[in-house]
Each structure stands twice: as C-alpha cells, then as structure tokens.
C-alpha cells in the first residue's frame, strides 16, 4: 500500500519519455482523483500555474 502514486508517476514519465509539467488521475474506486504539477523551483511552478489559470479562464 502507498506505492500507487510513485508507480503512476514513473509510468507517466515512461509514457512521454520525460517529466511532464502535469500528471493527473481521474480517480477510481478507492482512489481519489489527483493532479501533480512539477516545477524546477517555486518561481517556475508559480509561473506555470498562472499560465494554466489563464488558459482555463479563456475556456470558460
């Protein structure tokens, strides 16, 4: 137990061949949905989140 998240991250990286900006899982029975967002540091992560929020705002 407790190895699902590391396994999912490894599988996502294998699938795309690099560390993506975002990994998400829609959830399942007994598993909550989750989003993992990666950044080189706090500033780059904050910039990515602002960019994502701006794109989402345009979709609404």
Distance of CA 13 to the CA centre of its chain: 11
pLDDT tens string 4-32: 888 889 999 999 999 999 999 898 898 88
Q: Is the pLDDT of residue 37 over 90?
A: yes
**In the predicted model, what is the mean pLDDT of residues 29-52?**
92
- In order of 4, 22, 27, the CA distances from 30 in angstroms are 12, 22, 8
Tell whether pTM > 0.95: no
| Domain extent at residue 14 | 4-59
Residue 60: its pLDDT value, please?
61
């Amino acid at each position: 137990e407790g190895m699902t998240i590391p396994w999912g991250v490894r599988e996502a990286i294998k699938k795309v061949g690099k560390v993506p900006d975002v990994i998400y899982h829609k959830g399942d029975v007994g598993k909550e949905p989750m989003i993992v967002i990666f950044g080189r540091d706090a500033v780059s992560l904050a910039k990515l989140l602002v960019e994502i929020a701006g794109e989402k705002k345009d979709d609404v």
